Amino acid sequence: MTDTDIQTERTIWDQPNTMFPHRPDYVRPDRADDYQPTRVTAHAVKVEGTVVEQAHATFTNAKTAHEQFLNDIPRDHYSADGLKAQISNFATTDIAKAVDHAEASVRDLADNANAEYEQIRSELSPNGDTAAELRAGRYWDRTRPLLDNAKEGAVAKAQNLIAAADREQLGVLLQELPAYLEARNYPTEWIDLAVGQAVPEYSQAAARKKKAQQALTIAQYNAKSLRESFTNGYSSGFITDGRKYDPDKE
């Protein structure tokens, strides 16, 4: 076999399989009567409820509409490239764009919840005028040795200090305790809860922030899954329900 014969054979096998439909790599050849990709219309559905409820409804509606769209495509009438182009057109529809808007709305919710939490936290902070900062420094200078030498352990002592602190002292402990405890490999997750028992609005803001972030994580997952399905032409699978983390619901 000559080099020319080998090159010819390679060229034949490198081409798409348009001759043997029984093979898994078969690609239907283009035909003169092939359908051409057309504009796809799928309107967003107006939904009511909280931001998280609206987002969940949008994701669910988009999944249903996309699956119906895929089922209705007359695949035998498209070339391989035409079918791919037609499938990708769903991403330009109103209902597909609504997925992005829903994700952005939940992100705004989480950002606002975090801002509210940081605002309340900053109001407890000892940073302010010189006199307040001096008082805060003196309080922490007295408190740190108590934690260093606590027979009951630093965490137990810190919990007692929080329970007995006034609002200004709580701000100092909230600012200083995390770094102090982390440097000694002690847990710090309990601090928000302990401070929240003394300052209810802080507890509420911390809980709202946590829920909103959980709802955002789920919304981002759902939106990413849907966008990939719009591009690749398959069902997105299960839509995760983030409504149990809705910060606007009891």
pLDDT of residue 208: 95
Q: Is residue 39 part of a domain?
A: no
* pLDDT over 90 percentage in the chain: 47
Q: Is residue 6 part of a domain?
A: no
Average pLDDT of 206-229? 95
Q: Is residue 142 part of a domain?
A: yes
- Convert the pLDDT of each residue in 180-213 to its tens digit: 999 999 999 999 889 988 899 999 999 999 999 9
pTM of the model: 0.74
- Convert the pLDDT of each residue in 93-132 to its tens digit: 888 899 999 999 999 999 999 999 999 988 887 666 788 7
- Domain count across the chain: 1
Q: Is residue 18 part of a domain?
A: no
pLDDT band at 32 (very low <50, low <70, confident <90, very high): very low
Question: Which residue type, as a one-letter code, is found at position 27?
Answer: V
Report how far residue 161's alpha carbon sits from residue 38's, in angstroms, rounded to the nearest whole number: 69
Q: Which residues pair with 26 in a beta bridge?
A: 17
What is the average pLDDT value for the chain, to the nearest integer?
83
Report how far residue 215's alpha carbon sits from residue 51's, in angstroms, rounded to the nearest whole number: 10
Q: Is residue 14 part of a domain?
A: no
Q: What tokens does 130 get?
A: 């010189």
Report how far residue 172's alpha carbon sits from residue 161's, in angstroms, rounded to the nearest whole number: 11
Domain that holds residue 132: 56-68+79-237+242-246
Calculate the alpha carbon distances from 81 to 28, 77, 86, 91, 114 in Å. Answer: 10, 12, 9, 17, 46
pLDDT of residue 60: 92
Q: Is residue 22 part of a domain?
A: no
C-beta separation of 167 from 125 below 8 A:
no
CA end-to-end span of the chain: 79
